[in-house]
């Protein structure tokens, strides 16, 4: 019987997994995961996502075993691992999902070369995004750089097939090769366990991803969470987002599954699908402009005179900026491995404009600390807040951190949840403790500069400094 190696990495699921589906129809299936960070170029998986993977892998192995299969893990360079596995299993085919990051594209090419050398069959399937970046272009034959026409073109010209069902059984080889799964899980598990708080907020794995999706689209009263999405998505004090992003990042649920689940005519459903299209836009840009992971898409933005201020960067990372709403978001990131999207815009804009620190520093921090770290989304998001990317915010848009808190966390529930030293203050004072009467601060046990930091920057002066710095982008 023909035997196929099916390679997994950021696609840890059985539902809507084309390589697995077609391999099972062909014959014996050997699911494989090769862990070798050197294959990921300058962006190996960050610490928070490695902690997630340590939780997800045993769950994925368990679902495979329920179907008579298992996950074979090797921790060495891909070429070496594949050569071993082909010899050990006698496999004559290699199937996997196409990759879109710069390092992933290089790895795909190397694997195809290797397969040709060995004379084995290969199939590379689409399944990580909805569209083919090489097929979607403007009327002039150029990549899209503006979101709205891109989204319209994708919807008009891309047919998204329905998701494939989970295989009930997976034909197994007569003998299984050795697996290094347990050793990898041990290596990925943080020590000490700084990730402990993550698992109060998250449960990794495909079952959890599908349950979360079902809860989001299922009715709660007269409307689903999806139908309420347009009203509540910008409120970090509410559970208004889908919280599917970590599952999508590790491929525990497919983008096609989510896309089809979100069909409908409500404004919430439309807005949510637009966010999925924004993710597609991020991948479109990354495919066509791979250098943007570290370089501005608009070359003139390389002239911004960024500051070298490690103390300010450290205060930002630790949530000690003195601006409570921002500090709550940054501490949420550290405590749970995730930050609400609206808050990401605020803390990102604060870093690059009020602190005038390089967006690349923020991108690296998010990459290491987010459980939903995604190179395409991360790159587009940071270029957007900086103003240096496609369809980006105008350079003169400088979000006021106090107004952001007042607008999106008016009762300070979000802020006080993650900045406990301000919990005894009234909401309006918790958002702006510098305006609180001395007696109110004293009764709440707050001593500015001691129990909670002073603001590290004057907002008005920092805005003027940013605008002056950004003028460099307009000169020859």
**Residues recognised as catalytic:** 275, 278, 306, 341, 359, 382
474 vs 476: CA distance, rounded Å: 7
Q: Find tokens 């898409």 and name the residue.
A: 297
Tokens standing for residue 134: 């090489």
Residue 185, Cβ density class (10 Å: 0-12 exposed, 13-18 middle, ≥19 buried)? middle
Pairing of strands 28-34, 72-74: parallel
> Per residue in 124-136, is it b (16+ CB within 10 Å) or e — as a string?
bbebbbbbebeeb
> Of 450, 417, 267, which is closest to residue 329 (Cα–Cα)?
417
H-helix or E-strand spanning residue 93:
strand 93-97
* Rounded distance between C-alpha atoms, residue 357 and residue 354, angstroms: 8
Task: Report angle CA 345, 347, 350 to the nearest 5 degrees.
Answer: 105
Phi/psi of residue 118, each to 5°? -85, -10
406 CB-near residues (< 8 Å, 6+ apart): 431
Q: Is the dihedral of CA 281, 284, 286, 290 positive or negative?
A: negative
DSSP string covering 206-224: HHHHHHHHHHHHSEETTEE
SS3 content of the chain, % helix, strand, coil (to 5): 55, 5, 40
- Count CA atoms closer than 13 A to 19's CA, side-chain side: 28
d(CA 309, CA 307): 6
The token pair that represents 157 in the structure block: 């010209």
SS3 at position 3: strand
Write down the residue that tokens 């790895």 correspond to: 107
Contact 281, 144 (CB under 8 A): yes
CB 419 within 8 A of CB 446: no
């Amino acid at each position: 019987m023909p035997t196929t190696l099916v390679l997994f990495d950021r696609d840890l699921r059985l539902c809507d997994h084309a390589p697995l589906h077609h391999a099972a129809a062909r014959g014996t299936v050997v699911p494989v995961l090769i862990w070798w960070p050197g294959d990921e170029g300058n962006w190996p998986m960050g610490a928070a996502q490695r902690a997630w993977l340590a939780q997800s892998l045993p769950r994925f192995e368990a679902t495979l075993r329920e179907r008579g299969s298992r996950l074979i893990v090797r921790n060495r360079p891909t070429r070496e691992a594949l050569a071993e596995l082909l010899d050990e299993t006698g496999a004559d085919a290699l199937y996997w999902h196409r990759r879109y990051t710069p390092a992933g594209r290089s790895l795909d090419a190397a694997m195809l070369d290797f397969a040709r050398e060995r004379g084995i069959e290969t199939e590379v399937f689409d399944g990580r995004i909805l569209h083919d970046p090489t097929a979607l272009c403007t009327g002039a034959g150029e990549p899209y750089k503006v979101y709205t026409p891109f989204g319209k073109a994708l919807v008009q010209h891309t047919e998204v097939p329905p998701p494939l069902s989970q295989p009930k059984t997976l034909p197994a080889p007569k003998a299984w090769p050795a697996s290094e799964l347990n050793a990898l899980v041990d290596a990925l598990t943080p020590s000490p366990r700084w990730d402990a708080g993550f698992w109060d907020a998250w449960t990794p794995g495909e079952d959890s991803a599908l349950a979360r999706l079902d809860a989001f689209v299922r009715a709660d009263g007269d409307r689903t969470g999806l139908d309420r999405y347009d009203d509540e998505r910008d409120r970090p004090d509410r559970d208004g987002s889908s919280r599917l992003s970590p599952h999508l990042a590790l491929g525990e649920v497919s983008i096609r599954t989510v896309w089809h689940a979100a069909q409908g005519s409500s404004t919430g459903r439309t807005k949510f699908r637009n966010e999925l299209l924004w993710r597609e836009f991020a991948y479109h840009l990354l495919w066509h402009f791979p250098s943007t992971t570290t370089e501005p898409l608009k070359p003139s933005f390389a002239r911004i005179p960024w500051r070298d201020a490690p103390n300010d960067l450290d205060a930002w990372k630790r949530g000690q900026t003195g601006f409570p709403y921002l500090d709550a978001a940054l501490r949420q990131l550290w405590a749970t491995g995730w930050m609400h999207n609206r808050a990401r815009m605020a803390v990102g804009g604060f870093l690059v404009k009020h602190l005038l620190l390089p967006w690349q520093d923020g991108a690296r921090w998010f990459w290491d600390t987010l459980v939903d770290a995604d190179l395409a989304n991360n790159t587009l998001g940071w270029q957007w807040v900086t103003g240096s990317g496609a369809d980006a915010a105008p350079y003169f848009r400088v979000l006021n951190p106090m107004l952001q808190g007042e607008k999106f966390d008016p009762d300070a529930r979000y802020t006080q949840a993650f900045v406990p030293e301000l919990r005894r203050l009234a909401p309006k004072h918790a958002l702006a403790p510098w305006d609180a009467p001395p007696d109110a601060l004293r009764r709440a046990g707050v001593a500015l500069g001691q129990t909670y930091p002073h603001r590290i920057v004057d907002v008005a002066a920092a805005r003027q400094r940013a605008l002056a710095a950004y003028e460099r982008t307009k000169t020859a």
